[in-house]
Amino acid sequence: MGADALVSSMAQHWRIVVPCAAAIGAGAYLAYSELAFRAKHKGKKLPPVYTEFGCLPIIGAAIPFLIDPLALARRAEAKCGDCFTIKIFGLRITFLDGPEAQENFCRARDDELSQKEAYAFSVPLFGKGIIYDVDTDKRTEQIKLVTASLHTTALGNYVPNMLAELELYFGKLGDKGQLDIYKSLSELIILTASNCLMGREIRQELHSEVSTLYAILDKGCTPISFFAPNLPIPAHINRDIARKKMVKLFKGVIDRRKAAGVKEKDVLQVFMDAKYKSGDSLPAEEVTGLMIALLFAGQHTSSVTSSWTGLFILQAKERATLLKALKQEQAEAGPIDIESIKNKMPLLTACISEALRMHPPLILLMRKVHGDRAFRDMYIPDQDIVMMSPNLSGRRPEVWKNPDEFDPYRWLAPREEHRGHSHAWVGFGGGRHRCIGEGFAYVQIKAIWAYLLRNFDMEAVGPLPKPNYEALVVGPKPPCTVRYARRKNSTAEC
């Protein structure tokens, strides 16, 4: 046998031997880990482990989880109850569902159920030293900075900018036609974010570049990122390149403002002026990281929820009656400003909450267990990942009457179904870590639909879209077609 033939033969054998050896090694490690785990927790009642057809050795329930995590969780809950565990690549994921279980999740301190480890996959996206890559004290300081930029006074300043973007975007439409509401509102909200959050320079000069970089960052956050955020796949490589470009872009804006002595009324300026307790200012890298974190959270949730809100309204069983009531509410609300948005649009607010209940953009919230955690007569073991699902919580029949029906009046007096149980609704999380962007999201979405209801007649084209579980933030699957006709006279002053 010649040398070339020998090398070729060896290579063929190694193509088989190496993967087999890796699989055997991984299997042996997982088997050892399972034995060690059982020995450590011997005598303790742990949550039941759910398995089904499709749960394979080593990878566990990875396949059904990635296909449709909610369907898997519903099957597990039907068999195991409000607290159960699934295994994926040797990782234990324990679900807590239902008001009692959700209260256990929401009331936990950071040293009991930690966000940091559970959301470690976001570090390459937001950057080092941001939110989930810092200790609790610094994370608290950073969250306070974000909160300060979204308080009521700031929201009032943002509303005129939101309306200007609405006029500019929808003013380009003809008198009648069709549009994809999800695509349109996603484009609109990134424009609004550029205006209200990132600043005048970004909106006027660099919006196209920021939008492109943001889209690349978005595509770099995939379901596989949760398990392997630094895996050198194209989506992750492009994500890292885009983030470096984003830092350079924002640093340029920051340097120009400082050189000119300019102060703007936007979130970027809030972060530029902020100081930590130590007296240190935020470097450009951290300012950019907080901007990306804020944009990533707000853009996704607002575009998804505003789209579902409109789609549900236009597909409602009593569509004509609901639209008439919404338009009457707008006629009585007065100009679209922070006062009318917060206090004079209860039915529109209920429609948004109902859309969030039906299809929350974040279907899973996560924590990592530090120390065995009691729930009822069970113990959730140290180092488990704990998940709570706003989607599952919104469909529980003991909390919501006819939970699969869109019914905004359930949120209004005298029904107010969400008040019947503590922690029954967790669309924006709850407890210590309730979403700080909730107020901004409601203001933005109400401004959008107040404007559309006053200026357009709309109807849905085709059936209600299905949710798209291919992304971490779950929006409607395209197409989301809506037929519109511009109204000759606005219902009320905008």
Give me the tens of pLDDT residue by residue for the chain, a chain 494 residues long.
455 554 344 444 445 554 555 556 655 655 656 666 767 778 789 999 999 876 777 788 888 888 888 899 999 999 999 999 999 988 899 999 999 999 999 999 989 999 888 888 889 988 899 988 998 889 889 888 887 777 766 778 889 989 999 999 999 999 999 999 999 998 898 888 878 877 788 888 777 788 888 888 888 887 788 778 899 999 999 999 999 998 888 889 999 999 999 888 888 888 899 999 999 999 988 998 888 888 777 777 788 999 999 999 999 989 999 999 999 999 999 999 999 999 999 999 999 999 999 999 888 899 999 999 999 999 999 999 999 999 999 999 999 999 999 999 999 999 999 998 888 888 877 777 777 778 888 999 999 999 999 999 999 999 999 998 776 778 899 999 999 999 987 554 55
For 43, half-sphere exposure in the C-beta direction (CA atoms, 13 angstrom radius) is 1
Composition of the chain by helix, strand, coil, percent to 5:
60, 10, 30
CA distance 45 to 66: 28
How far is residue 229 from each of residues 91, 124, 125, 479, measured CA to CA in Å?
15, 7, 9, 30
Residue with the two structure tokens 């955690």: 373
CA distance 176 to 174: 5
Take residue 59 and report the two structure tokens written for it: 């990878």
Phi-psi region of 121 (alpha: psi -120 to 50; beta: other; left: phi over 0): alpha
Question: Residue 475: which of 361, 350, 384 has the closest Cα?
Answer: 361
19 in Cβ contact with 26 (< 8 Å): no
The residues near 426 (Cβ < 8 Å, ≥ 6 apart) are 102, 106, 365, 388, 390, 393
Contacts of 160-166 with C-beta under 8 Å, sequence gap 24+, read: 161/192, 161/195, 161/196, 162/192, 162/195, 162/196, 162/443, 162/444, 162/447, 162/448, 163/336, 163/447, 163/451, 163/494, 164/195, 165/191, 165/192, 165/195, 166/447, 166/448, 166/451
Residue 16's pLDDT is: 55
66 in Cβ contact with 75 (< 8 Å): no
84 in Cβ contact with 94 (< 8 Å): yes
Residue 374: phi, psi to the nearest 5? -80, 140
Global pTM reads: 0.86
CA distance 145 to 154: 13
The residues near 353 (Cβ < 8 Å, ≥ 6 apart) are 408, 411, 418, 425, 427
CA distance 96 to 376: 12
What angle is formed at CA 172 by the lines to CA 170 and CA 177, rounded to 5 degrees? 80
Take residue 40 and report the two structure tokens written for it: 């450590």
- Report how far Cα 470 is from the mean position of its chain's Cα atoms: 13
250 in Cβ contact with 231 (< 8 Å): no
Residue 11's pLDDT is: 45
CA distance 195 to 451: 18
